[in-house]
Amino acid sequence: MEPSDPFKTKAFLDTNIVLECRDLPELPWAEVDAEGPILLLVTARVAQEVDMRKRDGRLASRARAFNKVLGEAVVSGQPVVIRESGPHVALARSTASRIPWSDHDDLDPDEADHRIIAEVLHAKDVGNAEKVVVSHDVNPLGLARDHGLRVHHVGEHWLRPPEPSPMEKEVQRLKGRLSVLEARSLNSTSPLRSRASALCRCCRWNLWTQLAGRLGYGA
């Protein structure tokens, strides 16, 4: 970084911070550095792993949104501010010098976590004292500590709420259908109410039988 670089802390993000945690502006960055300012740095390997998720059904929207912000930093050559205060946080892409793998016999260039840490170690114009590796996973943090880097292990409160499974989504969909059928039966005129109620009971039985079959009960 330039001598006038205002960022006291350079936080290198693991891929899970981008894909599995809450949106970057919402995260409690004061846990990393209460005063700031903080520059979030994305290594080439992390950028590649995020880019590979652009067509992932569950993670595609997050990957694309992140790439849009990171792309602004790449094109402009300047960090993109993602939070003004509490503390001030910006995002940029890091670049690494050529990695002398022969000097790191404990790091495997074919292992993603190993490559990320190697890229952090050889990040251009960033002193090791400024670096902190931020991750929810233990393995990259252990590698970072083994090489004298500071680390921050994020807690569960950084993560996004778990998404419902496909089966849970199906249960909610079927419950919604049952609610509609029950409401219709209650609103039916008197001569038709008994027939509508019987139909609801039949539909309920059929729907829950279908779910039981998918769950493997009664197979």
Neighbours of 6 (CB within 10 A): 12
pLDDT in tens, the chain (219 residues): 444 678 999 999 999 999 999 999 999 999 999 999 999 999 999 999 999 998 887 889 999 999 999 999 999 999 999 999 999 999 999 999 999 999 999 999 999 999 999 999 999 999 999 999 999 999 999 999 999 999 999 999 999 987 665 565 666 666 676 666 666 655 655 555 555 555 555 665 666 566 566 556 554
Phi first, then psi, for residue 12 (nearest 5°) are -90, 125
Structure tokens at 177: 């259908």
pTM: 0.75
CA angle 99, 100, 106 (to 5 degrees): 100
CATH 3.40.50.720 fits 9-158, yes or no: no
Domain boundaries defined on the chain: 9-158, 166-215
Tell me the residue type at 164: P
Tell me the residue type at 174: L
Task: Report the C-alpha gap between 98 and 69 in whole angstroms.
Answer: 26
Give the three-class secondary structure for 115.
helix
Q: Rounded to the nearest 10 degrees, what angle do helices 138-146 and 112-121 cross at?
A: 40
| H/E run at residue 123 | none
